[in-house]
């Protein structure tokens, strides 16, 4: 297969396995999604979805959030990890949303990335999943799979995102990045990987990755 054929194989296979993909983080609006995504850094969606109801029961808007102290936020979100940094970020960005945006989440990458504790990936998730703006947030699953599939050199997530946006049609980005995440979790994990079940990597994967897999068996 040439690269164009490989890309189409990925698209076709993922559409067959995941014709519909839910948003992994539970939320009700752009603000609660922003907070959930921020909390998900170096944590799992399952853990975040267990903790956000506790936080949002007390504060599901910026106006309610700033009434909590940083220490109160930290105590609630401690199970997701990195709670000192995340609690400061949640409180700080809530203050900014009130001061600059009338309590609304801004709909631009630049404005989002200027908020405390909000990086490019978080901004991309919010723009994609809350506002429907084409984006390709790259998490560890996408970074790993794009390398395994020989669609990027794997140097860093920035290069992986650039390659993904170059290879895949823009109108598919928002659905496709979620499909790849679900596929990575189910069929191509970092550990306990079974190549026999990973049809995409087995079909188009990087030779060195496949050879390494069989050497370890």
- Does residue 26 carry a catalytic annotation? no
For residue 88, give the H/E element and its range: helix 83-101
Q: In 52-139, at which residue ranges do the beta strands (DSSP E only) sit?
A: none
Residue spans of alpha helices (H) in 109-172 = 109-113, 120-129, 140-148, 157-167
Contact between 13 and 60 under an 8 Å Cβ cutoff? The reply is no
**Burial class, 193, CB count within 10 angstroms (exposed 0-12 / middle 13-18 / buried 19+):** middle
Give which of 143, 148, 144, 126 is closest to 135, Cα–Cα: 126
The length of the chain in residues reads 217
Q: Which of 26, 45, 47, 139 is catalytic?
A: 139
- Does residue 171 carry a catalytic annotation? no
Q: Which of 6, 60, 121, 163 is catalytic?
A: 121
Q: How far apart are CA 194 and CA 177, in angstroms?
A: 22
Question: What are the catalytic residues?
Answer: 121, 139
């Amino acid at each position: 297969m040439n690269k164009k054929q490989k890309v189409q194989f990925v698209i076709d296979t993922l559409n067959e396995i995941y014709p519909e993909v839910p948003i992994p983080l539970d939320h009700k609006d752009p603000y609660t999604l922003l907070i959930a995504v921020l909390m998900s850094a170096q944590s799992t969606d399952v853990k975040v979805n267990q903790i956000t109801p506790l936080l949002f029961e007390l504060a599901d808007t910026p106006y309610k959030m700033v009434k909590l102290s940083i220490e109160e936020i930290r105590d609630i979100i401690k199970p997701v990890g990195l709670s000192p940094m995340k609690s400061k970020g949640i409180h700080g960005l809530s203050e900014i949303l009130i001061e600059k945006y009338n309590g609304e989440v801004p709909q631009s990458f630049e404005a989002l990335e200027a908020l405390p504790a909000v990086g490019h990936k978080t901004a991309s998730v919010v723009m994609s999943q809350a506002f429907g703006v084409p984006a390709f947030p790259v998490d560890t699953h996408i970074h790993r799979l794009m390398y395994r599939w020989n669609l990027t050199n794997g140097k860093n997530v920035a290069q992986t995102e650039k390659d993904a946006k170059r290879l895949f049609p823009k109108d598919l980005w928002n659905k496709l990045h979620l499909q790849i995440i679900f596929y990575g979790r189910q069929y191509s994990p970092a550990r306990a990987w079974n190549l026999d079940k990973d049809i995409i990597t087995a079909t188009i994967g990087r030779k060195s990755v496949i050879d390494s897999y069989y050497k370890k068996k």
